[in-house]
Structure formats: structure tokens, C-alpha cells
Amino acid sequence: MIVGAGAGGAVAAWALVRQGVRVRLLETGPRFDSARYATHDQAWELDPSRFDAVALDPERRSYESAPGEALDPDFNHLGSRTLTLIPGNLSKRLPFVWSRVLGVGGSTLHYQGEAHRFPAHTFRMKTERGVAADWPIRYDELAPYYERVERLLDVAGDPGNPFKPERGSFPHPAHPRSDASLHLAEGARRLGWQSLPNTLAVLRKPRPDRAACHYCNGCIRGCMVGAKSSVDVAVLPDAEASGLLEVVTGFHASRLETSAEGDITGVIGFDESGNEQRHRARSVVLAAGAIETPRLLLNSAGGSHPHGVGNASGQVGLRLMESLYLRRGVVFDRPLESWVGLPIDARIWDWNGAAGPDEQPSGFVLGQLAGWFEGPAGFAREGVAGFGMAHREEMARSFGAGFELLGVAEQLPRAENHVALSAQTDRFGVPLARVETRLDRIDLEVLSTMWKRLGELGEAAGVERFVGQISAYDVPAATHVGGTCRMGNTREDSVVDAFGAVHGHPNLVIADASVLVTQGAGDSPSLTIQALALRAAEALADRGRRSEV
């Protein structure tokens, strides 16, 4: 039984059926029809995401957030302010918002296809940087699983990245880069930095059942042609074809079923109509994400586990890591057709590996993104101020010359940032998750460093004007959220072991971002989640063969 059909759950399902295990995959959301995505629709900017209609449905609310903290005025330069979206001068940080996708495919439906291997040092942060904790596994142990998932997802990339561990070739060569990306690369070169092709789970060549990428820039709205390797098109069809996988949608898991002895025996939840359902299972894989998975464990309290399953030491829900990001709008003085290309076709990894010149323990990566400025309507509102004839002239002159500079850093795990249970309940009467997270000075300092570096990058590339910015300083984001059931060697400081099994529950495995110990220095976590899920699922199947579960 697997709960959650996103990045980790789908790969776990794929791995288990290949081992001959019969699997039922439970998903809260629907199975989306890719033909109905708004990616190529003439009105795509009017209806940019079909996913939000489900994820933001108040009926499906599963969490609440603590009020945001007062902002540190020393870092006011990081404040979000755009021409229309965010007026600026916020006095408090906005409450945390979980930017998830509910549906078969999960967040891979709206991700940009980034398929990064975490840098080697991130697995040994305590040893090498004196912060956070070491993982119970090393990079070298995970590398074979990274490689297999890269093949599964048809990842394209350039192996010659000097900031990453040495590796063999990718399944496919890197994608061609857009004019905007190449323009920015020239700016990076002037600074002595390297803008390198991104590694992307996006098809360069067609497969019999999927088209190659046509560089429409619309990954975040869902790929209509199946070029992006979201797990609904790249992983699950093969697993379903085996006849061993059953996908159940519209199921809202509420708690784990346990025996009198405390063994996990299944999953209890509700269908869309509110009817309670029980799914018995020999073993359960939780892959519901870094908020929902701890919520499920905590809501399963009772009997031999009064504080929740796997929570004997009170570790479930602790050390939530949110996304430390910064986006700065830039407009250049030449046409760059910034609406064309893969959204993030390059990255600057100079601060992703070894400690950078700023000697901050948290790494980060930089890059560019069409973002707000991708379409004419977005640029008209966020790229050009005012209205009337001057606005029209500026639109005609500079549309396509603007995009966003993007930086993503890692947030170091801290116990006070956590997920607990709320006094509020959902429509089924199940307690919501309550998310409490705030930034520490070290977070603000790494954000500030990114702000400076992005400024330098823009200047070096010949920016005509900076237009707006938005950052985690006052607008939190959950893009790379993780860490709430981290892996470790002991139950005193972690929830799962090195193979994702919950301490004391060998037939309960977690295969999502909850288990991450650190955040990979700004790299996107999906490939690591999937490599860990593959490893955990195969270990679970091994335990099953040995009759240990």
C-alpha cells in the first residue's frame, strides 16, 4: 500500500511491481487529463494552472499556518515588492503556504523537470561544515540509484559540471539553451562564474508514447505532450501495464491502522463522499509529502504509540526545511524572446559544492526563469509600470527582453521549524497539520548573499532595469519543503533508518521529502526523493522476501 502518487510514491510503486509485489496506490487528488492543460491554450495566462483549482480548494484544506514573524529591518533590501502582485513594505512575514499539487503525479506535474543529484558534501554537513547533521548514507551509496532514476526519467544533461562529483554520461545530452539563458551566461562569464546546462527530466527525442520537448516554456502548467517526465507519464504507465498496480484516486488517508501490538496493518481514510474506507496491507509506504506524511503519523496516535506512529522520541514533524528563494525581475535592452525555451535550462552552481567565498555553510544555486514575464499579460502587469500610450510603447519595445533571476538556497534544519497537529479539523473531522516556520539570521544572510550575487549577475549581463523582486524573506514558499521525518541511525534523532523504514516499524516506509536530512545546497530535491524511494522500495521488497515484514 502506498499513500501518495507523487515523485516518491510513483517510483516506489514502479520498483515494487518490478519485484513482483502487488501494489495499491492511494491518491487524494484526481488523475488529470494532460490534453486539458492550459499550456498551449490561447488564454493560458487567464487560467495558468488547472492544478491550483484542486490544491487550493478550501474543501481540501489539510493544514494551517502560524502567523508570520516580524521582519528583521536589517534585511529590508530583501523585501518582496512587485509592480502589482506585492505592494511591498510588509511588516510581517506572510504565513507559510504549501504550494502542492494534489493528483496522480503530484508536484512533478508542475515542476520544471530539474533532476539534480545533491552534492556529496550535503550528506556530511555536520562533519564537513559543522552544521545540521550527517545523513546515514553517503553520496556514493545513493549514486547507483540516482543513475537508475535518471535512466527511468530520460534525464538530459552535461556530465562536465566541475561543481558536481565525477560521473558518467547522462542518458541524453543537454538541451539547447534559449537566447535569454545564453545572454545571462555571458554575464556570468564576465564575473568568472559558470552558467552550465541544467540537468532536466525532459525528453530530447520522442518515445513511442511521448513527444520530444518543443520548448514552449510551459512546464509549470503541465506538459500537454508528455515531454516532461512527470511520474504520471514516465513512471506509472509502465507499472500499471504490469497488472500489479491499482491506482485509487479521491482517497483521503486519515490514519494508519495498527494491531494491538502496534504493527501497521493498513490505512484508514475517506472517499470523496465522506465514507470511511479501510485498506489492509502487509506493508505501507507513505509518500504524501513533508506536511501530510507527519500529519498522518501524528493522527495515528493510540494504543502502544500515544504520541503518533514512529514518534516515541518526539521527532515526527521536526526540522521542517522550507524554500529559501529569491527572484529579481530584470529587463534588458535587446530582444531575447524570453518566452521560448525550457524554463530553467541552465544553472550557476559555483556556490553549490565547496564552501564559497562568502564562507556560509548553506549553499545555493542561481539561474534564470521566465516567471512573471513569460507572457504578454504577465509582462504588462509586472514588467511595465503605468498605463496609456507610454505603457504601450514600452510593451512593444521590451516585451521578450525581461525575465527573472532566480536563486535557491538551502535552509539548515532546526527543530523549532516544525509540523504539529492543529486544533482545527478538515471536512472529515481529522485534525489539520499546523505549520510553524520562521527564518533564522543565517537564512537571512544567505538570502542576502544571493541578492547581491543576482545583482552582480544582472549588471554584468547589461541589465537595463531591475523590476520587482520576491523572496522568502517575507513570502515563504514550500517548493523544496522537506525534513519532517528525517532519516538517521537512531530513533532519538530521526524517524526513519537509512532505508526509509520507520524506526520500530519495518513494514512502514517513508518515500518522500520528509526523510531529507539536508536540502542539497539549493539543488532541486525530486531526483533525490526518487532515488531514495527506489532504494527504500527495493529494501522493503527484500524484507518481504525474507518474511521480515
Partner 1 sequence: MTNQKRPKISTNGDGPKVPRRRILVVMGALLAGFAVGVWRLMHPPRPSGELGELEISFAKEAARSSFESTIFPPDSVPLLLAVADVIVPRFGEHPGAGEFKLLPRLERCLIASPEGPEVFRRHWPLFEREIRQRVPFRAGRTDSEVLHEVLAQWHRDYATERDPSLPASYFEGLRRNVLLAYYTSPAGWASVGYPGPAHASPDALGDSLG
From the list 135-143, 208-216, 288-296, 320-328, the region that binds partner 1 by CB under 8 A is: 208-216
Cβ proximity to partner 1: between 46 and 70 the closer is 46
Q: Which residues contact 264 (CB under 8 A, 6 or more apart)?
A: 256, 257, 258, 281, 283, 284, 309, 505, 507, 508
3-state secondary structure of 432: strand
In whole angstroms, give the CA distance from residue 429 to residue 319.
Answer: 27
The verdict on 381 binding partner 1 (CB under 8 A) reads: yes
How many residues sit in the footprint of partner 1 (CB under 8 A)?
A: 36
The verdict on 72 binding partner 1 (CB under 8 A) reads: no
From the list 41-49, 257-265, 310-318, 353-361, the region that binds partner 1 by CB under 8 A is: 41-49
In the numeric block, which cell numbers belong to residue 351?
556556490
Contact of 491 with 313, CB cutoff 8 Å = yes
User: What is the residue whose three cell numbers read 529579481?
Assistant: 328
The verdict on 205 binding partner 1 (CB under 8 A) reads: no
CB atoms within 10 A of CB 391: 13
In whole angstroms, give the CA distance from residue 290 to residue 118.
Answer: 18
The verdict on 339 binding partner 1 (CB under 8 A) reads: yes
The verdict on 214 binding partner 1 (CB under 8 A) reads: yes
Q: Where are the beta strands (DSSP E) in 104-210?
A: 195-197
Q: What residues numbered 76-105 form the site for partner 1, per CB under 8 A? A: 84, 87
The single residue among 94, 137, 268, 340 that binds partner 1, judged by CB under 8 A, is 340
The single residue among 43, 58, 243, 429 that binds partner 1, judged by CB under 8 A, is 43
From the list 210-218, 250-258, 406-414, 499-507, the region that binds partner 1 by CB under 8 A is: 210-218
Cβ proximity to partner 1: between 216 and 439 the closer is 216
Q: Name the amino acid, one letter, at 192.
A: G
Torsion of CA 380, 382, 383, 387, to 10 degrees: 50
Q: What residues numbered 220-249 form the site for partner 1, per CB under 8 A? A: 225
Q: Name the amino acid, one letter, at 75.
A: F
**Number of helices (H), then strands (E), in the chain:** 12, 18
CB atoms within 10 A of CB 183: 20
Shortest spacing between CB 343 and partner 1, in angstroms:
12
HSE (CB half, 13 Å, CA atoms) of 175? 32
Cβ proximity to partner 1: between 288 and 401 the closer is 401
The single residue among 275, 389, 423, 547 that binds partner 1, judged by CB under 8 A, is 389
The verdict on 388 binding partner 1 (CB under 8 A) reads: yes
The verdict on 217 binding partner 1 (CB under 8 A) reads: yes
From the list 138-146, 242-250, 305-313, 386-394, the region that binds partner 1 by CB under 8 A is: 386-394
In whole angstroms, give the CA distance from residue 108 to residue 407.
Answer: 20
The single residue among 165, 237, 356, 376 that binds partner 1, judged by CB under 8 A, is 376
The single residue among 393, 416, 440, 548 that binds partner 1, judged by CB under 8 A, is 393
Cβ proximity to partner 1: between 230 and 449 the closer is 230
Q: Could you give the C-alpha distances from 477 to 95, 322, 323, 470, in angstroms and in order?
A: 9, 6, 5, 11
The verdict on 30 binding partner 1 (CB under 8 A) reads: no
The verdict on 138 binding partner 1 (CB under 8 A) reads: no
Residues that bind partner 1 (CB under 8 A): 39-47, 84, 87, 214-218, 225, 339-340, 375-377, 379-381, 386-389, 391-393, 395-396, 399-400
